[in-house]
Amino acid sequence: MMNTGLSRRALMGVFAATAAVAAPSFSNAAGFLRGAGDIRRIQMYSGRTGERIDTIYWIDGEYIAEAVREVSLFMRDWRNGQAVAMDTRTMDIIAATHNLLDVSEPYQLLSGYRSPQTNAMLRSQSSGVARNSLHMRGQAADLHHDSRSVNQIARAAMACQAGGVGRYSGSGFVHMDCGEFRSWGS
């Protein structure tokens, strides 16, 4: 039998979580980011690559290295295939926000990691792209959700009180990052 490093209790928690998922309130997000709860899960779809990911990346107080690598590869720069290790703090904000939205369908990932070349190209086309974007450090994601508005997603992300939250209502997405706590956009 392969040793995965997971305890029996952690595995039982995974199975229990798939049977019944509690709907946390906005006030639970900060606690969730500090380690409350037994699992953390990422669910996303990329229209750019046609790929989907639905993985538990944290169990019982520990990140699962292989799952974190999977998420990082999924969030790669789709224009050139380059990837970096995504910051787990950003993953935590994404997961907490998803839980607060109380939805079962995945986010649509518009942009995760961006290579410096991609960022420079986008910056030449739009004044809304930061020169030193946290996307280039694997610390940001631009996300959309079909069943929730930009304002609903942004309010849930702001409830986490961790990182930056940008509303891009005209383009239909929310930016989330693990930088300093701030918000912008409409």
Lowest mean pLDDT among 53-57, 81-85, 100-104, 125-129: 125-129
- Which pLDDT band, with edges at 50, 70 and 90, does 29 fall under? very low
- Which pLDDT band, with edges at 50, 70 and 90, does 132 fall under? confident
Q: Cα separation of 144 and 174, whole Å?
A: 6
- Mean pLDDT confidence for 33-61: 85
What pLDDT is recorded for position 2? Answer: 37
13 vs 52, higher pLDDT: 52
- Which pLDDT band, with edges at 50, 70 and 90, does 24 fall under? very low
Q: Per the confidence metrics, is the pTM higher than 0.85?
A: no
Q: What is the pLDDT of residues 98-120, one digit of tens each?
A: 999 989 999 999 999 999 999 88
Q: Which residue has the tokens 């912008």?
A: 184
Q: Which residue has the tokens 């631009």?
A: 142
- Which pLDDT band, with edges at 50, 70 and 90, does 22 fall under? very low
Q: Cα separation of 182 and 49, whole Å?
A: 30
How large a percentage of the chain has pLDDT more than 70? 80
What pLDDT is recorded for position 87? Answer: 96
What pLDDT is recorded for position 122? Answer: 86
- Which pLDDT band, with edges at 50, 70 and 90, does 31 fall under? low
Whether residue 36 has pLDDT greater than 80: no
Q: Domain limits of the chain?
A: 29-185
Residues 6+ apart with CB under 8 A from 136: 113, 114, 115, 116, 119
Q: Which of 114, 107, 110, 144 shows the shortest CA–CA distance to 130?
A: 114
Architecture of domain 29-185: 2-Layer Sandwich (3.30)
Amino acid at 157: A
Q: What are the structure tokens assigned to 149, written together?
A: 């508005």
